[in-house]
Each structure stands twice: as C-alpha cells, then as structure tokens.
Amino acid sequence: MVIDLVNKRAVALAAALLIGALPATFAASMEEALERFLIQELQSRYALAHDLTDPEMYAAVFTEDAELYGAGGRLLAKGREALRAVGVNDRKRFNAGAAEGERSFGALRHVVTNSVIELTSPTTATGFCYVMTIVVRPGGGPEILSLGRYEDEYRKVDGEWLIARREIIMDMGNSELAEATGLFGGR
C-alpha cells in the first residue's frame, strides 16, 4: 500500500514535469540544485586528481587564468600551466614510484565534505568546503594529517564548472605525523 502511494506520487510528479504543470520557480530551483551538484562533483574531481597525482587531471579542473593560494594568502600558482607544474611536483613528492602516465594513487587521500555553494550568476559561483587529508603512518594504518577548508570562486566555461580561484586554509595539522611520513619537509 505504501509502495503504491509512493509510485502514484512519482507518476504524478513525472506527469506534471512532462506537461509543464509545475511552476517555473520549481524548475529554476531544480536547475540551481543541478548546478550546485556539478560544482560539488568538481570539488571531488579536484580531490581525485590530487590523490592520483595526475598533473593533467589536476590542471583540467581549473580555468586557464586560475589562481591557487596557500597559507596566509600566498600565491602558489597562477594559470593552468603553472597549476600543471604543481601537479607534476606533487607526483614527485607524494607518488615517486609511479611511472609517468600511470594511474596510481599517491600517499594522500583528500576527503571533501560540508560544501556550501552560492550561485552568484548563471556562470559564476563561490563556495566553501572542508577537507580532511589522510595518510598511512609507516608501520601503521591511516591517520588524519590535517583538517582545513577550501574557499573557492568558480566559473562556468563552455558549459563546464571550473575553479577560478582556490584558497587552501589549513585549520589544524599533525606535524608529528608529517615528520613520521616524510611529507611536507619531514624526514
């Protein structure tokens, strides 16, 4: 009985969509939800590219003129080619044993959560999300290396959302773990 009621509601919703019976505001809110979802997927693609240490995939999530900032608002890279160079360097630092072009996960895992996205125009948005970086301690298991956030500006280029500006803010980190793993200047 409950299933029948759910099915009837689903059919009614589908029919209303097909005949255009729903108000335009509903359609607009569905479009906004889709745009937010696509930006969240972009945040995940960034994390995957970073974890795979894939320089091409990493650079591809940014606009041609993108800017990447680190601690204290320090400019780390400007432009897609500079961002590709960051990806190449990250592969050397975090996945040294991987052959060029090989799909291989590096030493880090980035977990992106708590996305808040504001659409500021049909082709621009701002956003915020938390990031947790996990590494494997030598002789042990996975541990949290750092907790931080990304503060972003996005731009839709040729129908695809890309990162135009990203500031990486580390709220807290485990320096002892960084030393033990040899990451970020340790060992």
pLDDT tens digits, 33-86: 999 999 999 999 999 999 998 999 999 999 999 999 998 899 999 999 999 999
What's the gap between Cα 44 and its chain centre? 4
pLDDT tens digits, 83-141: 999 998 888 888 888 777 778 788 889 999 999 999 999 999 999 999 999 998 888 88
Own/partner long-range contacts of 180-187 (Cβ < 8 Å, ≥24 apart): 180/137, 180/138, 181/107, 181/135, 181/136, 181/137, 181/138, 181/145, 183/93, 183/94, 183/107, 183/108, 183/135, 183/145
The torsion angles phi and psi of 87, rounded to 5 degrees, stand at -60, -40
**Structural domain spans, the chain:** 2-181
- Classify residue 137 by its DSSP letter: P
Retrieve residue 148's tokens. Answer: 């931080």
Which of 64 and 180 is assigned the larger pLDDT?
Answer: 64
Per-residue pLDDT at 137: 85
SS3 letters across 139-183:
CCCEEEEEEEEEEEEEEEECCEEEEEEEEEEEEEECHHHHHHHCC
Topology of domain 2-181 in CATH is Nuclear Transport Factor 2; Chain: A, (3.10.450)
Per-residue pLDDT at 109: 92
Residue the block writes with tokens 């590219």? 49
Cα separation, 79 vs 86, in Å, equals 11
Residue the block writes with tokens 């996005």? 154
Per-residue pLDDT at 21: 53
Measured CA to CA in angstroms, residue 112 lies from 47, 122, 133, 165 at distances of 7, 24, 9, 17
